[in-house]
Amino acid sequence: MRLANKIAVVTGAGSGMGKAAAMLFAREGARVAAADINEAQVKETAAEIGAAGGHAIAIRADVSKSEDARRMIDETVAKFGPPNIVYNNAGIEGDSNYVANMTEEQFDRVIAINLRGVFLGMKYALPHMVKAGGGSIINQASIAGMVAIKGGAAYSASKAGVIALTRVAALEYGRYNIRVNAICPGAIETPMAQRIRKGEPPKQHALNRISVFGRMAEADEIAKVALFLASDDASFATGAPFVIDGGWTIS
């Protein structure tokens, strides 16, 4: 198993890409601290991991709040030990609005969860990872951090910030054998995508047309990239945005 004896923290683990990654990490031998703001959903994720023979705890956490982020890491350390892997996946799409029409509240909410949440996840995990002798941090960015999307000022700004933050952390902590990378997904079939479609069938929505494959990715396809970055197979990869977009940025 590729993550045997590893301890992994996964945020946004109640659904979508976070849940897929938490399940996959557990199947590959990791003990998983699954965190999400939705307590019922993340308890379900942990229960499914346990039912499959894995080891997991569920932590209710709002990643945008310092006290929650600190407690998330502290509970992981108390239950399993220092994390070897941190997947800062939690995020929201926020409200779509042109820049001049976007309220400060709309902008700040997205930045707080998508960008500050990643910062806090790293801030509280890094000291433990340094003491443990290394590890892998995976931050969820997006193609939206590289290309412009109308109405997505806050979302794009937050994801571009995640890419920059990832590079800085990789530069600062490489000396401690800590790798820090970002995943930049394109259109993925998740609850977020379902909200964006507003009931429109997947095959009829424009999200499918931005992939050269004519489809959206499944959450498991992103989880497999996260597994690679979490594992020793990615031992020389750090500071990089891994683009997994079905060809969005080449069309």
Q: What domains are defined for the chain?
A: 7-185+220-246 (3.40.50.720)
pLDDT greater than 80 at residue 39: yes
Pick the more confident residue, 241 or 249. 241
Residues of the chain with pLDDT > 70, as a percent, come to 92
The residues assigned a catalytic role are 155
Please tell me the number of Cα atoms within 13 Å of 24 on its side-chain side.
22
pLDDT greater than 80 at residue 76: yes
- What pLDDT is stored for residue 37 in this prediction? 98
> What distance in Å separates the CA atoms of residue 33 and residue 121, rounded to the nearest whole number?
13
Long-range contacts of 152-157 (CB under 8 A, 24+ apart): 152/96, 153/97, 153/98, 153/99, 153/102, 153/107, 154/94, 154/95, 154/102, 154/106, 154/107, 154/109, 154/110, 154/111, 155/93, 155/94, 155/110, 155/114, 157/107, 157/110, 157/111, 157/115
- What pLDDT is stored for residue 238 in this prediction? 98
Q: How confident is the model at residue 244 (pLDDT cuts 50, 70, 90)?
A: very high
pTM over 0.85: yes
Give per-residue pLDDT as tens, 117-171: 999 999 999 999 999 999 999 999 999 999 999 999 999 999 999 999 999 999 9
- What pLDDT is stored for residue 211 in this prediction? 85
Mean pLDDT of 72-83: 98
- What pLDDT is stored for residue 205 in this prediction? 47
- What pLDDT is stored for residue 159 in this prediction? 98
